[in-house]
Amino acid sequence: MASHLAALDNDRIRRFLAEKNSSEPILVVDSEIVRDNYAKIAHALPDTRVFYAVKANPAPEILSLLAELGSCFDCASVVEIDMALATGAGPERISFGNTIKKERDVAAAYARGVRLFAVDCREEVEKVARQAPGSRVFCRILADGAGAEWPLSRKFGCVPEMAVGVLEHAHRLGLTAYGVSFHVGSQQNNVGAWDSALASASQIFRDCAERGITLSMVNLGGGFPTRYLKDIPAVEAYGEAIFEGLRAHFGNRIPETIIEPGRGMVGNAGVIEAEVVLVSKKSEAADELRWVYLDIGKFGGLAETMDEAIRYPIRTARDGDAMSPCVLAGPTCDSADVMYEKAPYALPVSLEIGDKVLIEATGAYTTTYAAVAFNGFAPLASVVI
């Protein structure tokens, strides 16, 4: 029988998996691809500082590699700050990018030397002013997220009109009103998505200037996609579109910029090897859809299949055979643990119980999303090579 590994382009991951012969699902991340992604992003946006979104994949090897390459870190919690600091990177390379922070966590970050904080309301500004005096804050504004595949809610950010008041409040409380941030939505396929947010940002710069406050930074957020099933624009196209937006809205007074790639940095660097546990049908009817059950599902690391948002490429040893649509589900006793059903997924008709499959582009938002022990299944194993 052909090996599923023959379907894999990546030699390093192929060799590792062949040798490992894992009996449980495992994510393998190729550090060379992460290195390459960093270089491409840095090259596409040469004047922009890169803050890697640690939450996308906090594996220590990835953080250390990125620290060595010069990356800064966007952290969501004190634990993530400690992980970033453990690489040897100094606290000046860390942004506490979560707009929802316990006041004691602001204090803990400040004690570690962190001086850059995200806010989106006056209440959060006050926490930072009390616990991290003199720090820089940037205010997150709402962006519409059109064109993004992973749903953006209104959870983070305020309307642009409110941001001026928030930054003014920070200024009055002795903080440095540093700039504006936004997020155009994760897995953003529209390179023009940054334009309207940049227009809002430049308006906030002008409104603050009228109040005597000079902002200096625009945080462009993340959103850079990973190639799943559909082609995506090249990183260069994003860089060009963003630069054009900056020129259009800030003229010759282009601010300092930072970006926070997560998925775009590690997504395509990872492959999950999993196993087919069952292939069956629900009735004897000739046109009945097959159900394919893997040993990984929504609660084992593929949480981003929620609402069938992210469709991962799946390779098998039988990819040359005839294909037919099937419902793809996970191994737990939870009826919500179904990945693709509304839009069934085409897999080889010859796929069998016990076959291994490769789920590609799974380097981001998989390991840490895994449930700690649902149904007794261990969280997703992970290796960086």
Which window, 28-36, 232-240, 249-257, 288-296, contacts its own copies (CB under 8 A)? 288-296
End-to-end CA distance of the chain: 27
Separation of alpha carbons 380 and 367, rounded Å: 6
Bridge pairing between strands 94-96 and 72-75: parallel
Site residues for its own copies, 159-198, by CB under 8 A, read 159, 161-162, 165
Query: CB-wise, 181 or 316, nearer to its own copies?
Result: 181
Contact between 101 and its own copies per CB under 8 A: yes
Contact between 60 and its own copies per CB under 8 A: no
CB of 303 to its own copies, least distance (A): 8
Contact between 318 and its own copies per CB under 8 A: no
Separation of alpha carbons 327 and 312, rounded Å: 14
Contact between 1 and its own copies per CB under 8 A: no
Beta bridge partners of 20: none
Contact between 30 and its own copies per CB under 8 A: no
Exactly one of 337, 345, 357, 359 binds its own copies (CB under 8 A); which one?
337
Positive or negative, the CA dihedral 86, 87, 92, 97 is negative
Instruction: Output the CA–CA distances (angstroms, integers) from residue 383 to 47, 67, 87, 276, 298, in the order listed.
Output: 33, 19, 18, 21, 20
Size of the site for its own copies (CB under 8 A): 81
Name the strand (E) or helix (H) holding 161. Answer: helix 160-172
- 333 catalytic? Reply is yes
Separation of alpha carbons 135 and 176, rounded Å: 6
Contact between 368 and its own copies per CB under 8 A: yes
Contact between 267 and its own copies per CB under 8 A: no
**Between 224 and 253, how does the x/- string for binding to its own copies read (CB under 8 A)?**
------------------------------
Active-site annotation holder among 139, 158, 326, 333: 333
Which of 266, 247, 284, 279 is CA-nearest to residue 351?
279
Site residues for its own copies, 136-165, by CB under 8 A, read 142, 150-159, 161-162, 165
